[in-house]
Structure 1
Amino acid sequence: MGVPDSQSSDTGIILRVRGPLELKCQLDTTDALLMQKVISGTFETLRAQVKSESLVLTVCDSPVFIWPNRGFHATPVEITPNTPCEDLQQWIQTDEQESSGKRSGKKKNKKSSTATAINLHLMMEVTTKGPLSAPILSRTVQKSHFLSTTLPMDCVIRTTSKDTIKDAFERLLEALTDQLCKMEKVMLQHMKGTTVLVPEPLHFLLPEPKGLVTVVYPAGVPDSQLETQRRELHQQFELPDDWPYFRRANAYHFPNEPYKDGYLRNPHLVLTHPSLDTGKVYLVQGIYSYHHYMQDHMDDNGWGCAYRSLQTICSWFQQQGYTERPVPTHKEIQQALVDVGDKQGSFVGSRQWIGSIEVQAVLNQLLEVTSKIMFVSQGSELGSKGRELANHFLTEGTPIMIGGGVLAHTILGVAWSETTGQIRYLILDPHYTGAEDLQVITDKGWCGWKGPDFWDQTAYYNLCLPQRPKVI
């Protein structure tokens, strides 16, 4: 199944233009068809504005201004229609340059390593050239409804190193015009009386070669009420009906935007895959957060590893859009086990360990997710489970919790050779107690590939393999 397992394997530069366009129209009637006609006329005016000479696009954190409809006029003068797109990065002021006192007006020799997405701001020149004339005032008394809302324009295009600014900006203008058409359609579809819903553009990274696509949803309408639209999108892009590609939680996360909650996402992506003779790599599909000891002002050092592994699994279901429920706290996990009758009331607030069977029960209780349990009587047998684990990551793609004795870990993938039986495990270790430092976590092996000797050869292990709901 083709599911994007990375949000950073993109080549080229993403150009993203954002900015408000004001939709204002006077509705002198309550007749639905006439109101729709007036709104459509206003959208037509906005599309004309996007094609007008007054449109200005500025490169954020830089002195660059571009008038794409005015014979492609730009400042500074070094920027011409034939300038390669990637050269825009040289003008962007980074935080490091600011702190070292360098001025943004000077051209940079060094490209910012993080600017794989260039942000642009959409503006309109308010003043227009022409003869000045005195205003004429007239007064008409009538009842009417004034509709005013801000359209949050947000368009992206993917460029290659060969693209010139002129080519890319022509595509951006097409994307802006197309987005206004989609917004008009959404607004008219969801209009009730004189109430309209603001259209909300979202970007989704689809399996190659489809790449990044933009969808417009009505803001405020929950995912549960947009299944018809998602089905249409799955048909349009020829996608299978068993993965929620177009739920809001699956919206693309741009590489230069930090996550607000502070958790690391997908630390395994920076690792090099082990090389096994005739071996293949099978990985978790989609996005998860790394949960480990001592996070969230919670001292669970020595007893909370299975709770943290469970939190990582829950984050996967949340970030793939299967649930809107936040990742549960230790107390919520304990309460869920009391609620299903697995534990006594005194368990809540305790520092007692849990294992794979409890993880299975909590996933079912809180997320309505079922899991398979794999029993291994001794660690030496784990080496023979390559086929089952590879199949799990191919078909389900969810993180696996493995518990044995008093230790729990998260398995994110396997490298396995069908011919030789060689196997390596991609382990995310919840016993880490440090800060969210990707380099430390990967250099010190808290997220890393481990051989069969990683497991206690004589201890028993239970593996909890969460099953993905097959929904759209």
Structure 2
Amino acid sequence: MGTIIRVRGPLEFKCQLDSTDVRLMQRAISRTFEMLLSQVKSESCVLAVCDSPVIIWPKKSVYATPEEITPSTLCEDLHQWIQTDEQETVGKRSAKKKGKKSSAASVVNLRLMMEATKTGPLPAPILSRTAQNSHFLSTTLPMDCVVRTTSSDTIKDAFERLLEALTHQLCEMEKMTLQHMKGTTLLIPEPLHFLLPEPKGLVTVVYPAGVPDSQLETQRKELHQQFELPDDWPYFRRANSYHFPNEPYKDGYLRNPHLVLTHPTLDNGKVYSVQGIYSYHHYMQDHMEDNGWGCAYRSLQTICSWFQQQGYTERAVPTHKEIQQALVDVGDKQASFVGSRQWIGSIEVQAVLNQLLGVTSKIMFVSQGSELASKGRELANHFLTEGTPIMIGGGVLAHTILGVAWSETSGEIRYLILDPHYTGAEDLQVITDKGWCGWKGPDFWDQTAYYNLCLPQRPKVI
């Protein structure tokens, strides 16, 4: 992976419009962006490594302080200057100094700043007063640029690329500002990062803040053409923006716990798994005491989180009562069902997904658990084409299937199971060590019970 170098900081945009003529206003705005570009390219541009004493002047021959930092210093060596919370002393905050490499070693955060101090004699100020009507535009541009580096990249290499990224982002912000300008009202540019399939990697896109995704389809189509991406997957919706590994999720749910697991080894076998990001929903979360009856609700919540986090819906993950109300609304249940502790199954999960998200699902019927071992091809094809989590219900239990390891030659199969019956804290190590998220063999299923599988279908939208 190497190191991600990320620089953020405000640039003050101040522009006086002396005319309401569109061309003259656009010229004035472009001149302001040119001034900001010259600031970024000047020797007064400073990049400070967050939580460390390291400060770098990229246009002063990559001059840095402390003296040990030189242009040939490797990017990954910056980590040893970053102080983590664990290195703080109890009581009074200790001085920043060299410490161990941060556990979040994949990201180095920088602050974008400008030197305010000027050297040499200053000219005497001149004041002039002009009486005229004009509009004064003032806002803060939230600069946010990233570059991905390899283990051999030096600070000189990376910071030259960072300056190029900052310059490019200002140009993109200017283009967006002029494109979405309405009278003397400007929309603030919003930089977002997206991780595209390799080898494309991490790219940055500037959207107009406050404009919903539904109004940006034309821009997304242009981006799909630019990066040669298929037009049936929402790569550039805001919900798909890259989540940096050193930033915790605010809602407290674990994401993609299966990624830390080791794949099973099968002769001539391949692994087919969920595509994208989901949250792990299980018993006793959200102050909801559903132990013993809510497993299918939790599996459904995990599926809904997948559709939300892939940008297919802006709707929040539904609560148990909202799920029950949806089943009442479609005529599947009586009004008394809302607030009850009654189980639901795959057919109800299918109905709720359609009612709340407009998502259709296929149902796979298996008359007894022993037959699941022969469903490798169908399950592998689902994860290849749709990539959504599968809800499986049988007897009184429901689980989420996140993938299969399957050998086409031998028929051998393993199932990647996310178990909603877990009642503990969001502890990734416990969840994976104890098998609440883990690979299971065909004997995991009750060999004589019947099972229904709900396979949600991914909408083909951009």
Return the match for 2:227 from 237, 243, 266: 237
| Residue 376 (structure 1) aligned with residue 366 (structure 2) | yes
Q: What SS class does the counterpart of residue 355 from structure 2 fall into?
A: helix
Q: Distance in 2 between matches of 1:130 and 1:176?
A: 29
User: 1:331 aligned to 316, 321, 324, which one?
Assistant: 321
**Structure 1 residue 470 corresponds to structure 2 residue 460:** yes
What displacement does 1:70 show?
A: 1.5
Question: What is the TM-score of this pair, normalised by structure 1?
Answer: 0.97
Verify: 1:430 aligned to 2:420, yes or no: yes
Aligned 8 A contact 1:91 1:104 in 2? no
Is structure 2 residue 95 aligned with structure 1 residue 107? no
| Match in the other structure for 2:330 | 340
Supply the distance in 2 between the matched residues of 1:55 and 1:20 (Cα, whole angstroms).
12
Of 44, 68, 72, 2:34 maps to 44
Structure 2 counterpart of 1:143, from 133, 152, 155: 133
2:348 pairs, out of 345, 355, 358, with 358
The corresponding residue for 1:267 is 257
Deviation string 1:143-182 (CA, Å, 9 cap, x unpaired) is 1100001000000000011111011000000000000000
Give me the whole-angstrom Cα distance separating, in 2, the residues matched to 1:87 and 1:459: 57
User: Which amino acid is the alignment partner of residue 261 of structure 1?
Assistant: D
> Which stretches of structure 1, 4 residues or longer, exceed 6 Å deviation after superposition?
none
What is residue 208 of structure 1 aligned with on the other side?
198
SS at match of 1:296: helix
Instruction: Supply the AA of the counterpart residue of 1:105.
Output: K
3-state SS of 1:16 partner: strand
For residues 236-275 of structure 1, what are the alpha-carbon distances to aligned partners after superposition, in whole Å with 9 as ceiling and x for unaligned?
Answer: 0000011100000000000000000000000000000000
Partner of 2:188: 198
Alpha-carbon displacement from aligned partner over 1:101-154 (angstroms, at most 9, x marks no partner): 78453222x212212110000000112112133322221111110000100000
Partner of 2:286, secondary structure, is coil
**8 Å CA contact retained: 2:52, 2:97:** no
CA offset digits 1:272-317 (Å, max 9, x no partner): 0000011100000000000000000000000000000000000000
The CA distance in 1 between the partners of 2:327 and 2:213, in whole Å, is 29
Secondary structure of 2:125's aligned partner: coil
Q: State the Cα RMSD in Å.
A: 0.9
Identical aligned residues as a percent: 86
SS in structure 2 at match of 1:326: coil
Deviation by residue 1:203-231 (Cα, 9 ceiling, x = unmatched): 00000000000000000000000000000
Preserved CA contact (<8 Å) 1:63 1:104: no
Cα separation, 1, equivalents of 2:124 and 2:229 = 59
Partners of 2:266 and 2:144 in 1: CA distance: 44
Q: Unaligned stretches of 5+ in structure 2?
A: none
* Correspondent of 1:24 among 14, 17, 42: 14
Which amino acid in 1 is paired with 2:207?
Answer: Y
Residues 59-101 of structure 1 deviation map (CA, whole Å, 9 limit, x = unaligned)? 0000000011112211101001111111100100001001467
Secondary structure of 1:233's counterpart equals helix
Equivalent residue number for residue 393 of structure 1:
383
Choose the corresponding residue for 1:59, options 31, 44, 49: 49
| Equivalenced residues, count | 461
Superposed, 1:44-193 pairs within 5 Å as: 44-99=34-89, 103-108=94-99, 110-193=100-183
2:107 and 2:289 map into 1 onto residues whose CA distance is 38
8 Å contact from structure 1 (residues 92, 104) kept in 2: no
Rounded Cα–Cα distance in structure 2 between residues aligned with 1:227 and 1:350: 42
Task: Give me the TM-score of the superposition, normalised by structure 2.
Answer: 0.99
Q: One-letter code of the match for 1:372?
A: K
Aligned to 1:4: none
Q: What corresponds to 1:403 in structure 2?
A: 393
- Asked whether the equivalents of residues 62 and 104 of structure 1 are also in contact (C-alpha less than 8 Å), the reply is no
How far apart are 1:185 and its partner, in Å? 0.3
